[in-house]
Amino acid sequence: MKNILSTLLIAGSIAVSAQAKEDSLQFAKISTEILNKGKAYNELRDLTKNIGHRLSGSESYEKAVKWAEQKLRDAGADKVWLQEVMVPVWVRGKESLQIKTSNGNWKSLKMLSLGNSEGTGGKDVTGEIIMVRSMEEYEKLSPEQVKDKIVFFNYPFSQSYIETFRGYGDAAKYRTTAASLTAKKGGKFAIIRSLSSAFDDVPHTGAMRYADGKKIPAVAIGSTTADELAKLLQSQKVTAKLNSNCGMKGEKLSHSVIGEITGKKDQSVIVVGGHLDSWDVGEGAHDDGAGIVQSIEVLRTFKNLGIRNNHTIRVVCFANEENGVKGGVQYGKTAKESNEKHLFAIESDAGGFTPRGISLDMDQEKRKQIQSWSELFLPYGIYDFKNTYSGTDLYPLHDMGIPAAELVPDSQRYFDIHHTEEDTFEKVNRRELLLGAVAMTQLIYMIDKNW
């Protein structure tokens, strides 16, 4: 009996070893194909330079829809279609922020209105600035102290977190709530210190939202301007004047773009995607042009290498992640209503920097299975499988119980340029971008084969 058990264990070990070798060889083929023949970098140049920023509801976003539709066909998708999505239309328009100090002169500050903010209707809105350094400090102010004032929320992006997304998450509440908090106590508008890991004067936009009540403007200033303003306020009264034309212009019909290679065994779906929209400053290269071209690269690589996928591999270029997540919500709603089986979904929406890991937002059994493949990924610099979040567009799928994930690139430079004019093609490195596509393709190969 012992001899039989020993024989079975040895046979099993040999089978596992042979399987690991086969997978390792396939990983190498995927990497070699993408690093030598991948088109993601050139496609990102095309997207960013010939179309540029892609705010939902804009003409440039509609150009990006046509672009993505064609690129998916070129990559070898056997089905490509547009999914209808109603998206908000927010327009920035002309804007300016000035301050006046004790010498009586007005000085212009670099600024950006926050996304979804209402403006001043093109009129000057003026008032004295008061500064708070935290939410707790603001809560201690009485309505009388805030009434008719401009509130400056000077909360810095924490430099202490090694994972910079934690610093971003810590500071994000100031961007999303500053306007409503200020309005609740009678203030005229809100200024926030940008959610930036950099020590520069570049303002960062990003979505804010209104609670019930009056809708007042909210703007962001860069780190050095915030420091200079804080110093001024220590010694004198400072008046601010805002003139802005931003605001919501209703909704319009738009589209997410979807392409797939049908599975040979069944039509259970494996999703890989990013969001096609971006903010209206910069070129949306890292956020999230990178994720779009990496996802298309996955599909192209399966086709070019002749990998016959068991399950349907579907690329989704989501609409409206930045200021509404309407594309992700609509995709989840459609999948649920059609009772379409999804096995797995991964999004790339953390920049096109060097990949370090994959975050796994799923049950423990599935997480352990993917973690058991870590030795295969290690030669490609992928070692971090400990995080448990997934892409914003995937939350409707995750809420349906579908295992979800996100590519985890090195994050040290991401929040220097996130949601700014600095997010341009020139900030993206070709090999780093392609390595992200390698990691996603390798993961999807393993899931397609083993799930």
How far is 425 from 419, CA to CA, in rounded Å?
A: 14
Q: Do residues 78 and 260 lie in contact, with contact meaning Cβ atoms separated by under 8 Å?
A: yes
Do 287 and 400 sit in the same domain of this protein? yes
Instruction: Decide if 7 is inside a domain.
Output: no
Strands 95-100 and 269-275, bridge-based pairing: unpaired
- Residue 17 is predicted with a pLDDT of 79
Do 302 and 211 sit in the same domain of this protein? no
How far is 156 from 163, CA to CA, in rounded Å?
A: 16
pTM: 0.95
Do 196 and 286 sit in the same domain of this protein? no
Do 438 and 413 sit in the same domain of this protein? yes
Do 133 and 236 sit in the same domain of this protein? yes
For the chain, the distance separating the N- and C-terminal CA atoms, rounded to the nearest angstrom, is 33
Do 86 and 97 sit in the same domain of this protein? no
The encoded tokens of residue 37 equal: 């023949």
Do 260 and 219 sit in the same domain of this protein? no
Q: Do residues 83 and 258 lie in contact, with contact meaning Cβ atoms separated by under 8 Å?
A: yes
Do 221 and 203 sit in the same domain of this protein? yes
Q: Which residues neighbour 181 within 8 Å (Cβ) at sequence distance 6 or greater?
A: 135, 138, 151, 190
How far is 448 from 269, CA to CA, in rounded Å?
A: 9
Classify the C-alpha dihedral 277-278-284-290 as positive or negative.
Answer: negative
Instruction: Decide if 264 is inside a domain.
Output: yes
Do 240 and 254 sit in the same domain of this protein? no
Per-residue pLDDT of the chain (451 residues; tens, 9 = 90+): 666 655 545 545 565 678 889 999 999 999 999 999 999 999 999 999 999 999 999 999 999 999 999 999 999 999 999 999 999 999 999 999 999 988 889 999 999 999 999 999 999 999 999 999 999 999 999 999 999 999 999 999 999 999 999 999 999 999 999 999 999 999 999 999 999 999 999 999 999 999 988 999 999 999 999 999 999 999 999 999 999 999 999 999 999 999 999 999 998 999 999 999 999 999 999 999 999 999 999 999 999 999 999 999 999 999 999 999 999 999 999 999 999 999 999 999 999 999 999 999 999 999 999 999 999 999 999 999 999 999 999 999 999 999 999 999 999 999 999 999 999 999 999 999 999 999 999 999 999 999 9
The encoded tokens of residue 97 equal: 């922020």
- Residue 2 is predicted with a pLDDT of 60
- For residue 3, the tally of other CB atoms under 10 A from its CB is 7
Whichever domain contains 427, its CATH number is 3.40.630.10
Do 201 and 235 sit in the same domain of this protein? yes
- Residue 213 is predicted with a pLDDT of 85
Instruction: Decide if 407 is inside a domain.
Output: yes
How far is 91 from 299, CA to CA, in rounded Å?
A: 34
Instruction: Decide if 10 is inside a domain.
Output: no
**Helix (H) or strand (E) segment spanning residue 286:** none
Domain boundary residue, one of 245, 263, 289: 245
Q: Do residues 186 and 147 lie in contact, with contact meaning Cβ atoms separated by under 8 Å?
A: yes
Residue 114 per-residue DSSP state: P
Do 102 and 81 sit in the same domain of this protein? no
Do 328 and 427 sit in the same domain of this protein? yes
Residue 67 per-residue DSSP state: H
Instruction: Decide if 272 is inside a domain.
Output: yes
Domain boundary residue, one of 245, 263, 290: 245
Whichever domain contains 219, its CATH number is 3.50.30.30
Domain boundary residue, one of 224, 245, 266: 245
- Residue 102 is predicted with a pLDDT of 81
Strand order, beta sheet including 106-109:
106-109, 95-100, 239-244, 125-132, 150-153, 189-193, 218-221, 112-113
Instruction: Decide if 389 is inside a domain.
Output: yes
Q: What is the residue range of 186's domain? A: 93-245
Considering its fold, how many domains does the chain have in total? 2
Instruction: Decide if 147 is inside a domain.
Output: yes
- Residue 71 is predicted with a pLDDT of 98
- Residue 121 is predicted with a pLDDT of 97
Instruction: Decide if 21 is inside a domain.
Output: no
Listing DSSP states for 126-165 in one string gives EEEEEEESSHHHHHTS-HHHHTT-EEEE-PPPPS--SSHH
